[in-house]
Amino acid sequence: MRLPEELVAGLGSIRIVPVHGGDTARAYRLDTSNGPVFLKTHPHPQPLMFEREARGLRALRQAAPASLHIPEVLAVSQRGILMEWIDEGHRCPGSDARLGEGLAELHTRPAQGFGGLDGDNIGFLGSVEVNMAPASSWPEFFLERRLRPLINRAVAEAGLPVEALRLLDVLEPRLGELCGPPEPPSLVHGDLWAGNRLVDASGENWLVDPVAYHAHRESDLAMMQLFGGFGDATFAAYQQVHPLADGWQQRVPWYQLAPLLVHVIIFGGGYVDAVMSRLRALG
């Protein structure tokens, strides 16, 4: 694949090495005369996909405490994004606790309303476009910007049973209970599974590939538990810094519906059963 000239021109690349970089993009380590950099690109990107990723990284980098690292965006275009390189290592004693503390501090930063950054009305979870338009409350946002559009698309395109629409209608009167006690919006990562957390050679935590927006912070915590990979020390440390409301564990299946629906749309398969089992259990 031809690399985006607007991103690599002038770098003085010595060597280009393909690396792992996600399910929807191609990634490379570029060894340059000034050191290594990371390039992610896509042959047919959605409009503004990389620009929105860059905006999320910059917002997180500005808001995150010193103990939680976000890679610097060096350049971005419609076809890709260029970032600082992270030398990956292994967790050391304290890595998980520092992650929990740093994420809790990030979630305390004030945000204006529920929705996209700086008026963005569109975001991307993987290759799936999602609605980031502001809403007057978090329950309204989660229902009308996340669950209902994703369920409609999954029914129409990916084999999700029509019963899912009925089950969502049954749950709608309980939105306040399902979403938990009202909280001010937080700046969240938005796609915080274990693959989007890196640990560098010194044991420090980095967050990558965000779908950053202003949301209820429990959505990040629920995503962290969907596929595992985060130690108990992470959640214990989070609770010490920024305690979660009572019953947050019981709300995890509700908040996992959105990422599971995205997986239904992209992959289908067993994710259909995972969505339906949660909807039935919640009802």
Q: How many CA atoms lie within 13 A of 15 on its CB side?
A: 7
Q: Is the pLDDT of residue 21 over 80?
A: no
For 146, phi then psi, to 5°, come to -115, -75
> Mean of the per-residue pLDDT values for the chain?
95
CA angle 78, 257, 279 (to 5 degrees): 150
Tell me what pLDDT residue 119 has: 81
Catalytically active residues are: 191
Tell me what pLDDT residue 22 has: 61
CB neighbours (10 Å) of residue 89? 14
Spatial contact of 280 and 163, defined as CB atoms under 8 Å apart: no
Token pair, residue 106, equals 């990030």
Q: Is the pLDDT of residue 111 over 80?
A: yes
Q: How far apart are CA 11 and CA 34, in angstroms?
A: 8
- In the structure, what pLDDT confidence band is assigned to residue 283 with cuts at 50, 70 and 90? confident
CB neighbours (10 Å) of residue 96? 21
> What element of type H or E holds 29?
strand 26-32
Tell me what pLDDT residue 74 has: 97
Tell me what pLDDT residue 81 has: 97
Q: Is the pLDDT of residue 160 over 70?
A: yes
Beta-strand ranges (E) seen in the chain are 13-19, 26-32, 35-41, 68-69, 73-77, 80-84, 122-125, 128-131, 186-188, 197-199, 205-207, 213-215
Q: Is the pLDDT of residue 249 over 80?
A: yes
Q: How far apart are CA 80 and CA 49, in angstroms?
A: 9
Q: Is the pLDDT of residue 1 over 90?
A: no
Token pair, residue 56, equals 């999320």
Q: Which of 42-56, 135-149, 172-186 has the lowest mean pLDDT?
A: 42-56
Q: What percent of the chain has pLDDT over 90?
A: 86
- In the structure, what pLDDT confidence band is assigned to residue 23 with cuts at 50, 70 and 90? low
